[in-house]
């Protein structure tokens, strides 16, 4: 398809409705990109290279190009429809000798490359905007159904709890927790704080509300704010087991992650040989979605893992 010369800037427009006058200039729609230089030249070359094809004549385009010269004077519009494989050329700089419409082969390399350029202009918005999580301090989450426990950020005096967790055979087996010296435990606690500030993860201590060392950990790992997902992980020292606190803790973190942070999906994974974690997940409202075969290497070999998940809309 031959197009007029002189275009220096291409304004890409996302069209929401069929044009009232398909032979007129682009009206309405949402500008989503401005192509100049090599990017503009590539797009115009692809338009010119669209090979002939058989149109369906529905003409419900979703993209349009407004072409401008170096002074940003409007030259012409290119309006392709990738449903019926028809492209229109309209505007003040289009001479009468040029064809103003062209049926093209929608499966041709040129058509597919042009469509890819359009689609790349429309970014999917972040589910959770950057900065929302770190805008304030990590919250304390209350656990009203437990005997005097709550969730709070880890503090330096919790270092002995991390050391005990690294020595506990159950925690080490199911969570692959490191062994810590006192100095290393302090560094890990400081890292928890930095990962909150950089929006990489969140870790809470399960601890007495009246003060005292942590008896467990619950956190959001593998956190993807842009994609709106994360994974809940947890462990309890022997002093905290058997009280039902972890199901309460999972529920509290879930409410915060959905209602305050704005995530869309949370998951819990655990070895199929760990029924205690399975009970916590189900009791907290995380149904079993399936089994991931050979998903995690433990000290005794590869384990299948259960996958539990919840959506904010559940």
What's the chain's length in residues?
314
Sign of CA dihedral 268, 278, 219, 246: positive
Model pLDDT, residue 133: 96
Model pLDDT, residue 117: 92
Q: Give the residue from 231, 217, 219, 223 showing the smallest Cα distance to 268.
A: 231
Provide φ and ψ at 135, rounded to 5°: -65, -25
CB atoms within 10 A of CB 133: 24
The alpha carbon of residue 179 and the mean position of all alpha carbons in its chain are separated, in whole angstroms, by: 33
pLDDT one-digit tens code per residue, 166-186: 999 999 989 878 899 999 999
Q: Is the pLDDT of residue 23 over 70?
A: no
CB atoms within 10 A of CB 266: 24
The alpha carbon of residue 61 and the mean position of all alpha carbons in its chain are separated, in whole angstroms, by: 28
Among 42-46, 57-61, 187-191, 280-284, the minimum mean pLDDT is found in 57-61
**Considering the chain, what is the average pLDDT of its residues?**
91
Q: Is the pLDDT of residue 69 over 90?
A: yes
pTM greater than 0.75 (yes/no)? no
Q: Is the pLDDT of residue 122 over 80?
A: no
What band does 30 get if pLDDT is binned at 50, 70 and 90? confident
What band does 290 get if pLDDT is binned at 50, 70 and 90? very high
Report helix, strand or coil for 113. Answer: helix
Do residues 269 and 293 lie in contact, with contact meaning Cβ atoms separated by under 8 Å? no
Q: Give the residue from 263, 271, 257, 168 showing the smallest Cα distance to 204.
A: 257
Which residues have C-beta within 8 Å of that of residue 296, sequence separation ≥ 6?
269, 271, 302, 303, 305
Q: Is the pLDDT of residue 96 over 90?
A: no
Percentage of the chain lying above the pLDDT 70 cut: 96
Model pLDDT, residue 20: 63
Which residues have C-beta within 8 Å of that of residue 302, sequence separation ≥ 6?
294, 295, 296
Rounded to whole angstroms, the Cα distance separating 258 from 261 reads 6
Q: In what helix (H) or strand (E) does residue 152 lie, and over which residues does it extend?
A: strand 149-153
């Amino acid at each position: 398809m031959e197009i007029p010369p002189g275009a220096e800037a291409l304004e890409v427009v996302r069209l929401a409705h069929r044009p009232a006058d398909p032979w007129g200039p682009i009206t309405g729609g949402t500008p989503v990109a401005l192509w100049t230089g090599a990017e503009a030249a590539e797009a115009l070359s692809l338009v010119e290279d669209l090979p002939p094809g058989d149109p369906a004549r529905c003409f419900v385009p979703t993209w349009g190009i407004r072409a401008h010269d170096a002074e940003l004077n409007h030259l012409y519009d290119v309006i392709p429809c990738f449903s019926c494989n028809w492209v229109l050329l309209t505007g003040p700089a289009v001479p009468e000798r040029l064809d103003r419409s062209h049926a093209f082969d929608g499966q041709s390399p040129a058509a597919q490359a042009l469509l890819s350029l359009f689609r790349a202009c429309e970014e999917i918005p972040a589910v959770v905007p950057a900065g929302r999580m770190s805008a304030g301090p990590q919250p304390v989450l209350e656990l009203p159904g437990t005997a005097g426990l709550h969730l709070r950020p880890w503090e330096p005096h919790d270092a002995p709890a991390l050391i005990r967790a690294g020595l506990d055979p159950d925690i080490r087996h199911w969570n692959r927790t490191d062994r810590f010296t006192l100095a290393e435990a302090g560094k890990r606690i400081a890292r928890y704080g930095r990962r909150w500030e950089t929006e990489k993860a969140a870790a809470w201590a399960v601890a007495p509300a009246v003060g005292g060392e942590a008896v467990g950990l619950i956190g959001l790992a593998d956190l993807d704010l842009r994609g709106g997902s994360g994974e809940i992980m947890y462990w309890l020292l022997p002093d905290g087991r058997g009280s039902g606190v972890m199901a309460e803790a999972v529920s509290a973190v879930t409410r915060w992650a959905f209602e305050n942070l704005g995530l869309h999906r949370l998951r819990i994974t655990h070895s199929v040989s760990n029924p205690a974690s399975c009970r916590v997940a189900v009791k907290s409202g995380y149904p079993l979605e399936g089994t991931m075969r050979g998903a995690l290497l433990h000290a005794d070999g590869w384990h299948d893992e259960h996958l539990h998940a919840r959506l904010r809309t559940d």
